Copies of this chain bind each other. A is one copy, B any other.
Amino acid sequence: MNYPTNLFTFQRVSDRMKRIGRGSIIYTFSPKHKPAEVASPGEYVLFETEDAFGGQVKGEETPPDKLDWSRVDGATGPLYIEGADLGDTLVVDILDIRLQEKGAIAVIPGYGGLSHLSFAPKAKVVRIDGSFVYFNDIRIPIKPMIGTIGVAPKEGEIPAGNPGKHGGNMDVSELGVGRRLYLPVFTKGALLALGDLHAVQADGELCVSAIESPGEVLVRVNLIKGRMPNWPILETSESFQVITAGKDLDEAVREAAEESIRAIMRAKGIPFEDAYMLGSLLVELKINQVVDPLLGARARVPKWLVSIHDFLH
C-alpha cells in the first residue's frame, strides 16, 4: 500500500523507532492531551497520519460540502519529549515521509483564496506513485510535505487547523524530507503532534486543500535547552526561514521580516538600519498559504548570513 521515499532510513532505524498509530489523533494542540508516546532526545519516532479530510473523501461522488467537520484537520500524537520545558527549543528532523497510493483534493464554496467567486463543491481522488500525482490527464511531480506540525500552547487549546507560534497547520511547501524544524516549547514535554500530509502543494494552497494523503512520517527529536524562537524556524540546506501567521498576509509578512532583521542584527553585530538594508537585499518574503483561519508567510534568510542561535531568545 505504501511506497517508500527513503527505504534505507526506515529500515536502518526500524528496530529502534517508536511508533504512534493513526488511532492517536487530536483535533487541538493543548496541554490537556494525554501523551500517546514518550521519547527521549535523540530518539526516532514514526507517526502514522490520517489525511486532512479524516478519510471522508472517497471519490468524486463525495459531496465535500457535507463533510463531518469534527473529523477534519486531525494530527497524530501528542508525543511527550523527556526533559522538554517551557523556554526550550524542540528540534525535529524530518527523516522520511511515506504516502499512500491515493490522495484526495476538494473545493468547497466559500473557501480558499478565491472564495469570493461562485463555484460548485467538487472532490477528486487521484493516484500517487513514487514520482507523480495523476490529475485528469496531467502528471504532476510529487513533493511530499507536512501540512500540520506543532506543540501544545502554554494553556487553552488551539484547533489543529490553525497556524500560530506553536506551529500547527502552517502548510509550508518546503517542510519535507531532509528539513529540520525548530519549535518553541510552551509546556512540559512539548507535546508534539503532526499530520495533514500533502503529496504536492504550491505556495498559497490556493483552493484550500492540496493532494491530501494518509501516510507515515519518521522524525528524530532533540532539544536546545533554555532558549527558544518567537516563531517556528525551518532549516533547509541553504536557509533559515521564519514561519509566521497573521490575520492577513501583510501582518504575517511583517512578523517574519522583523524576526529576520533581529537575527541579522545579532549575527553581524550591526544596527537596525544596516540589517534593514540587508533584509531588502537578502531576506526573501514568501507566502505559505492564503486559506487557513490565519494566513501564513515566511521569511528566508541565507545560512551564510545567520545561524540558528541568532533566532533564539
Query: When the two chains form their complex, are residues A207 and B276 in contact, meaning their CB atoms are under 8 A apart?
Result: yes
Query: When the two chains form their complex, are residues B107 and A276 in contact, meaning their CB atoms are under 8 A apart?
Result: yes
Report how far A90 CA is from B297 CA in the complex, Å.
33
Report how far A122 CA is from B272 CA in the complex, Å.
10
Query: A278 — which chain B residues lie within 8 A by C-beta?
Result: 135, 138
Query: When the two chains form their complex, are residues B250 and A204 in contact, meaning their CB atoms are under 8 A apart?
Result: no
Asked if A211 is at the interface of the complex by the 8 Å CB criterion, the answer is: yes
> What mask results when residues 254 to 298 of chain A are scored 1 for a CB within 8 Å of chain B, else 0?
100110010000001010111011111111111100100001010
Report how far A207 CA is from B285 CA in the complex, Å.
12
Query: When the two chains form their complex, are residues B286 and A203 in contact, meaning their CB atoms are under 8 A apart?
Result: yes
Report how far A276 CA is from B105 CA in the complex, Å.
11
The answer to whether residues A277 and B202 also contact, given A114-B261, A261-B114 and a CB cut-off of 8 A, is no
Query: What range describes how many residues of A lie at the interface?
Result: 35 or more
The answer to whether residues A249 and B254 also contact, given A140-B281, A206-B276 and a CB cut-off of 8 A, is no
Interface of A, secondary structure class, is: mixed
Query: A270 — which chain B residues lie within 8 A by C-beta?
Result: 136
Query: When the two chains form their complex, are residues B135 and A277 in contact, meaning their CB atoms are under 8 A apart?
Result: yes
Report how far A282 CA is from B202 CA in the complex, Å.
5
18 further A-B contacts with Cβ under 8 Å, apart from A202-B280, A203-B284, A250-B290, are A105-B281, A107-B277, A113-B257, A117-B258, A119-B272, A122-B274, A138-B268, A140-B282, A200-B281, A203-B286, A204-B253, A204-B279, A204-B284, A206-B257, A206-B261, A207-B276, A211-B281, A248-B248
Interface residues of A (CB under 8 A from B): 105-107, 112-114, 116-117, 119-120, 122, 124, 133, 135-136, 138, 140, 200-211, 248-250, 253-254, 257-258, 261, 268, 270, 272-274, 276-287, 290, 295, 297, 299, 305
